[in-house]
Amino acid sequence: MSKKKQHLPTESVDEFGSNPFGELSCNGLVSLSSESIEGKKAKSTISKEEKLGRGERLEVRREKSGRGGKTVTTVRGFPSRISQEEFGMLLKGLKSRLGTGGGWRDDLMEIQGDQRKVVCEWLSALGFRPVLAGG
């Protein structure tokens, strides 16, 4: 024979006490229309002052050798006029955009995973001329 399951009684919210949101009102608050939110676009372009590149050619390639089978995207060919602080800002911005890890090895930027397409778009927005190199 099967046992009958005992159900816990459900009680209304009023039995627990007062509703903490019951006294809130929206009087005096300005409501935004959906048109005003859709009309504003996020800043997707970078001004000329923020551009680091001046049309320099950068090689973007996907590599696996010597990394235990892990795929990384490498970028090489940065000009010598870019300081270490600017390199750090470049890497930090790219890593936060992609949500991945990465680092600098000598003059080579390494980003975890196969991120060639996004890296090329990002570098183009900064004024560089990225080129897909390798296979």
DSSP-assigned letters across all residues of 9-30: PP--GGGG---TTTT---TTPP
Fold of 56-132: Translation Initiation Factor Eif1 (3.30.780)
The Cα 74–Cα 103 span in angstroms is 10
- At residue 119, φ and ψ (nearest 5 deg) are -65, -40
- At residue 113, φ and ψ (nearest 5 deg) are 90, 170
Task: Please name which of 49, 52, 71, 50 lies closest in space to residue 61, comparing C-alpha atoms.
Answer: 71
Which pLDDT does position 24 carry in this prediction? 79
Which pLDDT does position 17 carry in this prediction? 65
User: How far is residue 73 CA from its own chain's centroid?
Assistant: 16
Which pLDDT does position 71 carry in this prediction? 93
The Cα 53–Cα 2 span in angstroms is 75
The Cα 89–Cα 104 span in angstroms is 12
Kindly indicate the confidence band of residue 40, based on its pLDDT and cuts at 50, 70 and 90. Answer: very low
- Average pLDDT, integer, range 108-113: 92
The whole-model pTM stands at 0.60
Which pLDDT does position 14 carry in this prediction? 54
Kindly indicate the confidence band of residue 12, based on its pLDDT and cuts at 50, 70 and 90. Answer: low
Give the percent of the chain with pLDDT over 70: 74
Which pLDDT does position 44 carry in this prediction? 45
Which tens digits make up the pLDDT trace of 42-95? 444 444 445 667 778 999 999 988 888 899 999 999 888 888 888 888 899 899
